[in-house]
Structure 1
Protein backbone atom coordinates (compact mmCIF):
# COMPACT_ATOMS: atom_id res chain seq x y z
CA UNK A 1 0.00 0.00 0.00
CA UNK A 2 1.18 3.51 -0.85
CA UNK A 3 0.01 6.24 1.53
CA UNK A 4 0.58 9.79 0.27
CA UNK A 5 0.38 12.66 2.75
CA UNK A 6 -0.14 15.97 0.93
CA UNK A 7 -0.75 19.57 1.96
CA UNK A 8 0.87 22.92 2.48
CA UNK A 9 3.84 23.27 4.83
CA UNK A 10 3.03 23.39 8.56
CA UNK A 11 -0.31 21.59 8.26
CA UNK A 12 0.98 18.64 10.28
CA UNK A 13 1.98 16.19 7.56
CA UNK A 14 5.36 15.29 8.98
CA UNK A 15 4.27 15.08 12.62
CA UNK A 16 1.33 12.85 11.84
CA UNK A 17 3.16 10.74 9.24
CA UNK A 18 6.03 10.11 11.67
CA UNK A 19 3.61 9.16 14.44
CA UNK A 20 1.93 6.66 12.10
CA UNK A 21 5.30 5.28 10.94
CA UNK A 22 6.45 4.77 14.55
CA UNK A 23 3.22 2.99 15.42
CA UNK A 24 2.96 0.80 12.30
CA UNK A 25 6.64 0.49 11.21
CA UNK A 26 5.94 1.62 7.63
CA UNK A 27 8.62 2.80 5.21
CA UNK A 28 8.87 6.61 5.31
CA UNK A 29 9.89 8.87 2.42
CA UNK A 30 10.05 12.62 2.94
CA UNK A 31 10.47 14.91 -0.05
CA UNK A 32 11.99 17.71 2.08
CA UNK A 33 14.85 15.43 3.14
CA UNK A 34 15.48 14.15 -0.39
CA UNK A 35 15.45 17.64 -1.92
CA UNK A 36 17.62 19.04 0.86
CA UNK A 37 20.30 16.39 0.26
CA UNK A 38 20.21 17.01 -3.49
CA UNK A 39 20.72 20.74 -3.00
CA UNK A 40 23.42 20.17 -0.40
CA UNK A 41 25.40 17.93 -2.76
CA UNK A 42 24.62 19.81 -5.97
CA UNK A 43 23.74 23.44 -5.29
CA UNK A 44 21.37 24.55 -8.01
CA UNK A 45 20.03 27.97 -8.76
CA UNK A 46 16.26 28.14 -8.74
CA UNK A 47 13.74 25.35 -8.55
CA UNK A 48 15.00 21.77 -8.72
CA UNK A 49 11.77 20.71 -10.39
CA UNK A 50 10.56 17.17 -9.96
CA UNK A 51 13.92 15.59 -9.08
CA UNK A 52 13.03 14.91 -5.43
CA UNK A 53 9.65 13.48 -6.36
CA UNK A 54 11.21 11.31 -9.07
CA UNK A 55 13.68 9.84 -6.58
CA UNK A 56 10.94 9.32 -3.98
CA UNK A 57 8.76 7.52 -6.52
CA UNK A 58 11.66 5.21 -7.41
CA UNK A 59 12.31 4.47 -3.72
CA UNK A 60 8.60 3.89 -3.13
CA UNK A 61 8.49 1.45 -6.02
CA UNK A 62 11.47 -0.49 -4.63
CA UNK A 63 9.92 -0.71 -1.18
CA UNK A 64 6.48 -1.63 -2.46
CA UNK A 65 8.05 -4.46 -4.47
CA UNK A 66 9.41 -5.79 -1.18
CA UNK A 67 5.89 -5.80 0.26
CA UNK A 68 6.38 -2.76 2.47
CA UNK A 69 3.72 -0.18 3.08
CA UNK A 70 5.17 3.20 2.10
CA UNK A 71 4.29 6.63 3.42
CA UNK A 72 5.25 9.57 1.21
CA UNK A 73 5.37 12.92 3.03
CA UNK A 74 5.17 15.73 0.49
CA UNK A 75 3.37 18.93 -0.46
CA UNK A 76 2.25 17.23 -3.69
CA UNK A 77 0.98 20.53 -5.09
CA UNK A 78 0.38 19.81 -8.76
CA UNK A 79 -1.38 17.27 -10.96
CA UNK A 80 1.90 15.83 -12.28
CA UNK A 81 3.21 14.80 -8.85
CA UNK A 82 -0.19 13.39 -7.88
CA UNK A 83 -0.38 11.37 -11.10
CA UNK A 84 3.15 10.05 -10.58
CA UNK A 85 2.21 8.59 -7.18
CA UNK A 86 -0.85 6.96 -8.77
CA UNK A 87 1.36 5.50 -11.51
CA UNK A 88 3.68 3.95 -8.91
CA UNK A 89 0.75 2.25 -7.16
CA UNK A 90 -0.80 1.19 -10.46
CA UNK A 91 2.46 -0.32 -11.72
CA UNK A 92 2.42 -2.80 -8.83
CA UNK A 93 -1.35 -2.98 -8.47
CA UNK A 94 -1.26 -1.81 -4.85
CA UNK A 95 -3.80 0.51 -3.26
CA UNK A 96 -2.98 4.19 -3.02
CA UNK A 97 -4.34 6.02 0.02
CA UNK A 98 -4.34 9.78 -0.44
CA UNK A 99 -4.50 11.97 2.64
CA UNK A 100 -4.64 15.74 2.34
CA UNK A 101 -3.71 17.73 5.42
CA UNK A 102 -4.99 21.22 6.04
CA UNK A 103 -5.31 23.67 8.90
CA UNK A 104 -8.62 25.54 8.74
CA UNK A 105 -7.57 28.02 11.42
CA UNK A 106 -5.41 30.55 9.56
CA UNK A 107 -4.12 32.11 12.78
CA UNK A 108 -3.01 28.69 14.05
CA UNK A 109 -1.49 27.78 10.68
CA UNK A 110 0.52 31.02 10.57
CA UNK A 111 1.67 30.47 14.16
CA UNK A 112 2.92 27.00 13.21
CA UNK A 113 4.78 28.37 10.19
CA UNK A 114 6.40 31.15 12.21
CA UNK A 115 7.36 29.09 15.27
CA UNK A 116 8.39 25.72 13.94
CA UNK A 117 11.98 24.60 14.09
CA UNK A 118 13.58 22.63 11.26
CA UNK A 119 14.22 19.00 12.13
CA UNK A 120 16.60 18.64 9.17
CA UNK A 121 20.03 20.13 9.78
CA UNK A 122 20.55 23.41 7.85
CA UNK A 123 17.09 23.16 6.27
CA UNK A 124 15.50 26.56 5.65
CA UNK A 125 11.80 26.54 6.37
CA UNK A 126 9.46 28.67 4.28
CA UNK A 127 8.02 31.83 5.85
CA UNK A 128 4.31 32.62 5.91
CA UNK A 129 4.37 34.52 2.59
CA UNK A 130 6.06 31.58 0.88
CA UNK A 131 3.49 29.15 2.27
CA UNK A 132 0.39 31.14 1.29
CA UNK A 133 1.93 32.15 -2.03
CA UNK A 134 2.86 28.61 -2.99
CA UNK A 135 1.22 26.96 -5.96
CA UNK A 136 -1.18 24.32 -4.67
CA UNK A 137 -3.87 23.15 -7.06
CA UNK A 138 -7.30 22.26 -5.71
CA UNK A 139 -8.08 18.58 -5.62
CA UNK A 140 -11.20 16.73 -6.72
CA UNK A 141 -10.15 13.10 -6.49
CA UNK A 142 -11.20 10.84 -3.60
CA UNK A 143 -9.02 11.34 -0.54
CA UNK A 144 -9.22 11.74 3.20
CA UNK A 145 -9.05 15.41 4.15
CA UNK A 146 -7.69 15.94 7.66
CA UNK A 147 -8.10 19.27 9.43
CA UNK A 148 -5.30 19.53 11.98
CA UNK A 149 -6.50 22.78 13.56
CA UNK A 150 -8.01 21.33 16.72
CA UNK A 151 -7.43 17.58 17.19
CA UNK A 152 -4.41 15.88 18.75
CA UNK A 153 -1.90 13.91 16.73
CA UNK A 154 -3.03 10.72 18.44
CA UNK A 155 -6.69 11.21 17.50
CA UNK A 156 -5.74 12.11 13.92
CA UNK A 157 -3.57 8.98 13.64
CA UNK A 158 -6.52 6.89 14.85
CA UNK A 159 -8.75 8.51 12.23
CA UNK A 160 -6.17 7.82 9.51
CA UNK A 161 -5.73 4.21 10.62
CA UNK A 162 -9.48 3.65 10.32
CA UNK A 163 -9.40 5.08 6.79
CA UNK A 164 -6.38 2.96 5.81
CA UNK A 165 -8.16 -0.15 7.06
CA UNK A 166 -10.82 0.33 4.39
CA UNK A 167 -8.13 -0.24 1.71
CA UNK A 168 -6.77 -3.47 3.19
CA UNK A 169 -7.99 -6.90 2.17
Structure 2
Protein backbone atom coordinates (compact mmCIF):
# COMPACT_ATOMS: atom_id res chain seq x y z
CA UNK A 1 0.00 0.00 0.00
CA UNK A 2 1.31 3.42 -1.03
CA UNK A 3 -0.27 6.56 0.39
CA UNK A 4 0.98 9.82 -1.11
CA UNK A 5 0.24 13.02 0.77
CA UNK A 6 0.24 16.10 -1.42
CA UNK A 7 -0.43 19.76 -0.76
CA UNK A 8 1.10 23.16 -0.34
CA UNK A 9 3.48 23.87 2.54
CA UNK A 10 1.54 24.58 5.73
CA UNK A 11 -1.58 22.72 4.61
CA UNK A 12 -1.22 20.07 7.33
CA UNK A 13 -0.03 17.07 5.32
CA UNK A 14 2.98 16.31 7.54
CA UNK A 15 0.87 16.43 10.70
CA UNK A 16 -1.71 14.06 9.22
CA UNK A 17 0.90 11.71 7.71
CA UNK A 18 2.76 11.47 11.01
CA UNK A 19 -0.49 10.77 12.82
CA UNK A 20 -1.37 8.01 10.33
CA UNK A 21 2.00 6.24 10.08
CA UNK A 22 1.82 4.38 13.44
CA UNK A 23 -1.68 3.08 12.62
CA UNK A 24 -0.26 1.30 9.58
CA UNK A 25 3.25 0.50 10.75
CA UNK A 26 4.27 2.37 7.61
CA UNK A 27 7.59 3.58 6.30
CA UNK A 28 7.42 7.38 6.33
CA UNK A 29 9.23 9.23 3.53
CA UNK A 30 9.39 12.99 3.75
CA UNK A 31 10.66 14.80 0.67
CA UNK A 32 11.76 17.82 2.76
CA UNK A 33 14.16 15.58 4.72
CA UNK A 34 15.54 13.94 1.59
CA UNK A 35 16.01 17.24 -0.22
CA UNK A 36 17.69 18.84 2.79
CA UNK A 37 20.05 15.86 3.00
CA UNK A 38 20.99 16.44 -0.63
CA UNK A 39 21.64 20.13 0.09
CA UNK A 40 23.70 19.20 3.13
CA UNK A 41 25.77 16.93 0.87
CA UNK A 42 26.59 19.89 -1.36
CA UNK A 43 23.91 19.88 -4.04
CA UNK A 44 22.78 23.46 -4.50
CA UNK A 45 19.87 22.55 -6.77
CA UNK A 46 17.98 19.39 -5.84
CA UNK A 47 15.32 19.56 -8.56
CA UNK A 48 13.76 16.14 -9.14
CA UNK A 49 16.45 14.30 -7.17
CA UNK A 50 14.51 14.25 -3.88
CA UNK A 51 11.48 12.72 -5.55
CA UNK A 52 13.62 10.18 -7.42
CA UNK A 53 15.28 9.04 -4.19
CA UNK A 54 11.89 8.84 -2.44
CA UNK A 55 10.52 6.72 -5.28
CA UNK A 56 13.47 4.33 -5.00
CA UNK A 57 13.10 4.06 -1.22
CA UNK A 58 9.35 3.55 -1.60
CA UNK A 59 9.92 0.81 -4.16
CA UNK A 60 12.39 -1.03 -1.92
CA UNK A 61 9.98 -0.90 1.03
CA UNK A 62 6.89 -1.80 -0.98
CA UNK A 63 8.75 -4.78 -2.47
CA UNK A 64 9.26 -6.01 1.11
CA UNK A 65 5.53 -5.69 1.77
CA UNK A 66 5.84 -2.58 3.91
CA UNK A 67 3.18 0.12 3.58
CA UNK A 68 4.71 3.47 2.59
CA UNK A 69 3.57 7.03 3.29
CA UNK A 70 5.12 9.70 1.09
CA UNK A 71 4.89 13.28 2.37
CA UNK A 72 5.49 15.78 -0.42
CA UNK A 73 4.11 18.87 -2.14
CA UNK A 74 3.72 16.74 -5.29
CA UNK A 75 2.69 19.82 -7.27
CA UNK A 76 2.83 18.62 -10.87
CA UNK A 77 1.33 15.87 -13.01
CA UNK A 78 4.78 14.38 -13.66
CA UNK A 79 5.49 13.64 -9.99
CA UNK A 80 1.95 12.37 -9.41
CA UNK A 81 2.26 10.05 -12.39
CA UNK A 82 5.57 8.67 -11.09
CA UNK A 83 3.89 7.57 -7.83
CA UNK A 84 1.02 6.04 -9.81
CA UNK A 85 3.40 4.21 -12.13
CA UNK A 86 5.29 2.80 -9.15
CA UNK A 87 2.12 1.48 -7.50
CA UNK A 88 0.90 -0.01 -10.76
CA UNK A 89 4.26 -1.65 -11.54
CA UNK A 90 4.36 -3.28 -8.08
CA UNK A 91 0.65 -4.09 -7.98
CA UNK A 92 0.00 -2.19 -4.75
CA UNK A 93 -2.88 0.00 -3.72
CA UNK A 94 -2.26 3.72 -4.25
CA UNK A 95 -4.20 6.29 -2.26
CA UNK A 96 -3.57 9.89 -3.25
CA UNK A 97 -4.40 12.28 -0.42
CA UNK A 98 -4.45 16.00 -1.09
CA UNK A 99 -4.40 18.12 2.04
CA UNK A 100 -5.66 21.68 1.79
CA UNK A 101 -6.28 24.44 4.29
CA UNK A 102 -9.34 26.33 3.03
CA UNK A 103 -8.93 29.14 5.58
CA UNK A 104 -6.32 31.52 4.10
CA UNK A 105 -5.69 33.26 7.43
CA UNK A 106 -5.08 29.96 9.20
CA UNK A 107 -2.90 28.71 6.36
CA UNK A 108 -0.82 31.88 6.46
CA UNK A 109 -0.52 31.68 10.25
CA UNK A 110 0.77 28.11 9.99
CA UNK A 111 3.33 29.02 7.35
CA UNK A 112 4.57 32.08 9.20
CA UNK A 113 4.77 30.44 12.64
CA UNK A 114 5.89 26.92 11.76
CA UNK A 115 8.78 25.44 13.64
CA UNK A 116 11.19 23.85 11.19
CA UNK A 117 11.91 20.29 12.34
CA UNK A 118 14.42 19.39 9.63
CA UNK A 119 17.83 20.83 10.58
CA UNK A 120 18.99 23.32 7.96
CA UNK A 121 15.68 23.45 6.11
CA UNK A 122 14.66 26.95 5.09
CA UNK A 123 10.98 27.49 5.89
CA UNK A 124 8.93 28.84 2.99
CA UNK A 125 7.52 32.35 3.12
CA UNK A 126 3.80 32.98 2.72
CA UNK A 127 4.55 34.65 -0.61
CA UNK A 128 6.43 31.58 -1.86
CA UNK A 129 3.43 29.42 -0.94
CA UNK A 130 1.12 31.76 -2.85
CA UNK A 131 3.48 31.74 -5.85
CA UNK A 132 3.95 27.96 -5.86
CA UNK A 133 3.17 26.23 -9.16
CA UNK A 134 0.56 23.72 -8.01
CA UNK A 135 -1.27 22.10 -10.91
CA UNK A 136 -4.86 20.89 -10.83
CA UNK A 137 -5.30 17.13 -10.49
CA UNK A 138 -6.30 15.07 -13.54
CA UNK A 139 -8.20 12.62 -11.35
CA UNK A 140 -9.64 13.51 -7.98
CA UNK A 141 -7.60 12.47 -4.94
CA UNK A 142 -9.02 12.06 -1.47
CA UNK A 143 -9.14 15.73 -0.47
CA UNK A 144 -8.92 16.60 3.22
CA UNK A 145 -9.41 20.11 4.55
CA UNK A 146 -7.26 20.62 7.63
CA UNK A 147 -9.13 23.85 8.41
CA UNK A 148 -12.19 21.78 9.31
CA UNK A 149 -10.71 18.40 10.29
CA UNK A 150 -8.45 17.48 13.18
CA UNK A 151 -5.52 15.21 12.34
CA UNK A 152 -7.37 12.36 14.07
CA UNK A 153 -10.52 12.96 11.99
CA UNK A 154 -8.43 13.05 8.82
CA UNK A 155 -6.76 9.76 9.77
CA UNK A 156 -10.17 8.17 10.40
CA UNK A 157 -11.29 9.20 6.90
CA UNK A 158 -8.13 7.74 5.36
CA UNK A 159 -8.43 4.48 7.29
CA UNK A 160 -12.04 4.17 6.18
CA UNK A 161 -10.84 4.26 2.56
CA UNK A 162 -8.37 1.43 3.01
CA UNK A 163 -9.12 -2.26 2.72
CA UNK A 164 -9.33 -4.14 5.99
CA UNK A 165 -5.89 -5.54 6.82
CA UNK A 166 -5.57 -9.07 8.13
TM range (shorter): over 0.9
Report 1:61-140 matches (<5 A). 61-140=59-138
CA distance in 1, matches of 2:154, 2:163: 14
CA distance in 2, matches of 1:91, 1:165: 20
Compute the displacement of 1:164 (Å): 2.2
Q: Secondary structure at the match of 2:147?
A: coil
**Unaligned 5+ runs, structure 1:** none
CA distance in 2, matches of 1:97, 1:150: 21
Q: Once superposed, which parts of structure 1, at least 4 consecutive aligned residues long, lie more than 3 Å away?
A: none
**Is the CA contact 2:24–2:67 (under 8 Å) kept in the aligned structure 1?**
no
* TM-score after normalising by structure 2: 0.95
- Number of equivalences: 166
Q: Secondary structure at the match of 2:162?
A: helix
Q: 2:32 matched to 1:32? A: yes
Compute the displacement of 1:11 (Å): 0.6
Compute the displacement of 1:150 (Å): 2.2
Compute the displacement of 1:81 (Å): 0.4
Q: Secondary structure at the match of 1:165?
A: coil
Compute the displacement of 1:112 (Å): 0.4
Compute the displacement of 1:37 (Å): 0.2
**Unaligned 5+ runs, structure 2:** none
